[in-house]
Every structure is written in C-alpha cells, then in structure tokens.
Amino acid sequence: MTCRGMDVSAGEVVEVRMSRVIEGVEPVLGPVEEGEYVSPGWIDVQVNGFAGVDYNTPETTVEEIERSIMEQFATGVTRLFPTVITGTAERMTGALRRLARAREEAPHGGALEAFHVEGPYISPEDGPRGAHPVGCVRRPDLDEFRRFQEAAEGHIRLFTLSPEWPEAAKFIEAVVRDGVVVSIGHTKATAEQIRDAVRAGATMSTHIGNGAHAVLPRHPNYIWEQLAEDRLAAGFIVDGIHLSRSFLTVALRAKGVERAVLVTDAVMPAGCRPGAYRLGEVEVELREDGSVRLAGGTRLAGSALRMDAAVENVMALGGVTLQEALTMAWRNPARVCRVAGRQRGLAAGERGDVVRFRMEEGRVRVLETVWNGERVFGG
C-alpha cells in the first residue's frame, strides 16, 4: 500500500509504503497534484457519537458503531476516543461495555483507540455543568471508576473531572498511577484546586473555554488559571460556534501550538440533517447553523464538527499554518493521550495510518484514508 503527496513537515513530496506499519518513506521526483498532501492519520480524543450513532447508550449495536467509524474515516480520522458522558452508573457501564465489545468485534473496531469518560464527577452548577444531566452528577468515587474500567475492559485512558470536589486530588493520583490521563473540565474550581489537581497528575484541560459560566470575574478565574498553567495541554472545539476568533487566538498563544489539541466533541447528530435528536438521556436539536443545543434552549450540547473542518477552521480562525494545524490534529493528541506508535509522524515503524488530502482555497478535502495499512476511504 502506498500514498504520495507533500509532507508539510519534511517540505518535500514523499511516497509512504506501509502495511500495518509504515515500512518506508522516500522522497520522490514524480508529479503530484498541486495542493495535495499526506499526513499521519488524525486522532480525535473527544467524540460522543457520529452519523446518527450515540456512544452513550447501551442499546447502540456493534454494527452501528462500525458504521460511525467508517463515516469518520472519511474525515481523515484514523483513531478516536469514543466519549461517554455523565449518566447513571447503569447507563455509563452499559455504554462502556458495548464500546469494549465493538472494539473487539467490529471489523474496524481497533480504530477505537481508547475511551474517554467525561463526568460524572463534574460541577453540579449551571454553566460549568454544560448539558450534562444535573441529577447524575456526583462526587469522585474510586470504586465506581474501577467498575467503569472493568466494564471498559481496561480501555479508559482519558478521564475528565472537576477538581472542585474535596476528594479530587486523591482520585487523580490513584487513576494516574493506573495509566489514565486526567483532564480538568466542567469545573468552577479555584486557582488552588487547579494547582492541586496538576500536582496530583492532571495534564489536560477539556474543551477549554466551554463548559463554563456565561459571566466570570476578570481575574482570577478558572479559564485564565488553566491557560496560564504550562503543564496542562488543552482541547479546542474549533467550529466557529463554541469559541470566538479572539478567544481562540489568545488561547492558542497562551498554550502554544505544542500544547493545543483539536477535538470535535461531536455528538450523534454530526453528519446528519438538522432536526431533533436524543443524546443518552438528553433531548437536543441540530440547528441549521450547525450548532447542537438542548431542545428549546440556547445551551450547547456538543458539536456537529468534523475533524477535516476543524483543521481548516483553526487555520482560518486561529491564524496558524497548515503544519501547525496538523500538529494539533495528530501529533499532540498522540503525545498527550499516549497513543503508541503514532508520535513520530511519517516514519518507518509507526502505525500504517495516513490521510491524503487536498487544500482548495483554504478548504480541506480528504481524498484517501489508510488505517492499519488498509485503504478505508477514497483512493
């Protein structure tokens, strides 16, 4: 299997030879279409569902999860962290158990690299809680987490919680020792609580700038505290809806390209027609402007973003280069969330995950996606 195009990081046209791993990358003198690029496959560490498929319900079938994976291959994503949000213990463990089954049984289930659990140990307060159901928010419980991990067959690698709970620091220390990446999110934590969480091992902020009060003190506040903390990487939902251009620009300057991770936070209606949908226990609407909001209200409930659109948006709205945007789409999530075999780029021995795409007047058009050496989209 081979792919050919401009490697932005190398600054030259290359041909990538691969099977399940990359076997070689060679400069080539042959022609390539202008504006055609190759990149390591993109990684989405926060996706709640896609193409009408909800990862937050135990009723979702393995076949539906497989279909959602195939739809995401068309956006350049080759590895994803299906995300389960706040719910009852029964629904969360059921959803994790179903995802673990799909990872094992679906033809492309290995693309479910690991799982992200977002909640239920978040702020119960309106604003920071976002669209998570208030009746299911609860205090950190290590025994419950271990039941989640058992249901997930050990595949939970990213966990979002709020450090405002008195038990948070000890909880963070315990799960980090077990190899889980802890991210701060949906929080009203104080500066001291955020510092305690980082000292305990938290290394990321979940969709920074969202899951927050509409009005905050000028300073101090929990957004500035996380932006100022160099030990925290940050996820960004760059759909032109969740973040303003000015906030995105300032936040990227604060984090630096090396600590910025593109996420979609896509939910089940992503890739579908506008209309009414249900996310787990929550009624939502996909509106004509592309936003997903709680039914009848204005509060955002995830996004309908695709990763190819996130790459083009962060260039247009954040003023970054294509190489920087690609760094946020594959290298940083691989490093921050410990995706093995995906941190060195187009290099021999890395996994055979490649995306070939074209830039057309600032737009990204995915031409071909290769996963584990198999062409799974285009060609």
* Contact by Cβ (8 Å): 184, 226: yes
Question: For residue 246, what pLDDT is reported?
Answer: 98
User: What b/e readout covers 7-45, taking b as 16+ CB neighbours within 10 angstroms?
Assistant: bbeeeebbbbebeeebeebeeeeeebeeebbbbbbbbbb
pTM over 0.75: yes
Question: For residue 282, what pLDDT is reported?
Answer: 78
Question: For residue 232, what pLDDT is reported?
Answer: 98
Tallying the residues shown for the chain, one arrives at: 379
CA separation for the pair 362, 350 (Å, rounded): 29
CA separation for the pair 100, 62 (Å, rounded): 10
Q: Which helix (H) or strand (E) holds 197?
A: helix 191-200
**For the range 126-130, what are the long-range contacts, defined as Cβ-Cβ under 8 Å and sequence gap of 24 or more?**
127/188, 127/212, 127/213, 127/214, 128/162, 128/186, 128/187, 128/188, 128/211, 128/212, 128/213, 129/186, 129/211, 130/186, 130/210, 130/211, 130/299, 130/300, 130/301
CA separation for the pair 225, 153 (Å, rounded): 35
pLDDT (tens digit, 0 to 9) for every residue of the chain, 379 residues total? 999 999 999 989 999 999 999 999 999 987 777 889 999 999 999 999 999 999 999 999 999 999 999 999 999 999 999 999 999 999 999 999 999 999 999 999 999 999 999 999 999 999 999 999 999 999 999 999 999 999 999 999 999 999 999 999 999 999 999 999 999 999 999 999 999 999 999 999 999 999 999 999 999 999 999 999 999 999 999 999 999 999 999 999 999 999 999 999 999 999 999 999 988 777 899 999 999 999 998 889 999 999 999 999 999 999 999 999 999 999 999 999 999 999 999 999 999 999 999 999 999 999 999 999 999 999 7
CA separation for the pair 220, 194 (Å, rounded): 12
- Reference 263, options 129, 106, 79, 127; nearest CA is 79
* Contact by Cβ (8 Å): 48, 56: yes
* Domain boundary assignment for the chain: 41-350
CATH dotted code for 41-350: 3.20.20.140
Question: For residue 33, what pLDDT is reported?
Answer: 78
CA separation for the pair 325, 315 (Å, rounded): 7
